[in-house]
Amino acid sequence: MTGSLDGVKVVVVCGGTSAEAEVSLVTGQMVAEALERCGAMVRTVQPDGTLIDALRAGDADVVFPALHGPLGEDGCLQGLLEYHGVPYAGSGVRASACANDKITAKRIFRDAGLPLAADLVVSQAGDRAEAVKRVQEALGEDVVVKPACQGSAIGVSFARGPEELAAALAAALEFGDDVLVEERIQGGEITAGVLDLGGSPGPLPLIDIRTPAETWYDYQHRYTAGLSEHVIPAPLPESVYRLVQETAVSAHQVLGCRHLSRVDFVVSPAGRVALLEVNTMPGMTPTSLYPDAARHAGYSFDDLVSAFIRDALGRPG
């Protein structure tokens, strides 16, 4: 997969103002260094007027969007690049926007018949006490509360009972007008990377994400070295392993993703598989999952990012 990018002008967009800006800067640095090792002429910019100037000046043959969360994964940056006619790595406008909105994504997954946790949507405009009652009647006492359009587990919390649920809803609604509440399925946190070059998506090895007792894969455990263990390949029964991989590829396809995605699941001890979400631009930091899975499949980090760039430029992947 390795190939030269000699003379190719690549703009890596990272940072920004989202809650994931710090992680985005690390991802951007890792991507930029890899592309430079492949011979590309790399410029790293923030998603501001600097980027607009670079696009207008023709300083970019291709863009690598290393932004996480709003602006980077919601279709905004992709729409700007489409407007300026600049090729870019990763998913397009529609796939990015749909995947970024967990509520919209779940509707698409449900229509496609993919395995999901039961859920309910709570809106900012509704009566909070009535919302707590509806959630408990529909989903029970033990639930997961998620902002609709945040990544890296930001704003996510577990709630048991009406008081915890009310507090969790209030916290999640700080990030937007809608919140997704799901039944809590006890089980392992499994992630499946999808590699998609030339329109032929295939699954990477599954990862079983393990954290210390009484913890979970929250923001701190994602990005702090030593606080999580990535077991590759995930020790699942063959039939369950295959179902998770097949579901990951299906989720990638029904959203219309391109180049790469990371699909998160929970798998119960009894083998129940529940698709949680799709990340169209997964983290590329030293502790990130997607590069680990790719490395286990035989792809170096340089292989990955250079292949995405070449594919975006219309060259053989």
Can you state the angle between helices 289-296 and 301-312, rounded to 10 degrees?
A: 100
Q: Is 223 a catalytic residue?
A: yes
Residue 75: active-site member = no
Active-site position among 217, 283, 311, 317? 283
Q: How far apart are CA 270 and CA 146, in angstroms?
A: 25
Torsion sign, CA atoms 40, 71, 205, 195: negative
Is 20 annotated as catalytic?
yes
Which is the catalytic residue, given 182, 196, 277, 311? Answer: 277
Active-site residue, selected from the candidate residues 20, 101, 178, 196: 20
Burial (CB < 10 A; 0-12, 13-18, 19+), residue 35, is: buried
Tell me if residue 283 is catalytic. yes
- CA–centroid distance for 137 within its chain: 31
Which residue out of 184, 222, 258, 262 is catalytically annotated? 262
**Residue 28 DSSP SS3:** helix
Residues 6 or more apart in contact with residue 83 via CB below 8 angstroms: none
Amino acid at 156: V
Q: Which of 101, 119, 264, 292 is catalytic?
A: 264
Among 152, 228, 250, 288, the active-site one is 152
d(CA 224, CA 218): 10
Contact call for residues 131 and 143 (beta carbons, < 8 A):
no
Helix, strand, coil distribution of the chain in percent, nearest 5? 40, 25, 40
**Which among 279, 292, 306, 310 is annotated as catalytic?**
279
Q: Which of 217, 223, 241, 290 is catalytic?
A: 223
Q: Is 279 a catalytic residue?
A: yes
* DSSP, residue by residue, 107-152: HHHHHTT--B--EEEEETTS-HHHHHHHHHHHH-SEEEEEETT--T
Cβ atoms of residues 278 and 262 within 8 Å: yes
| 316 prior amide bond cis, ω within 30 | no
Active site residue 262: yes
Q: Which residues are catalytic?
A: 20, 152, 223, 262, 264, 277, 279, 283
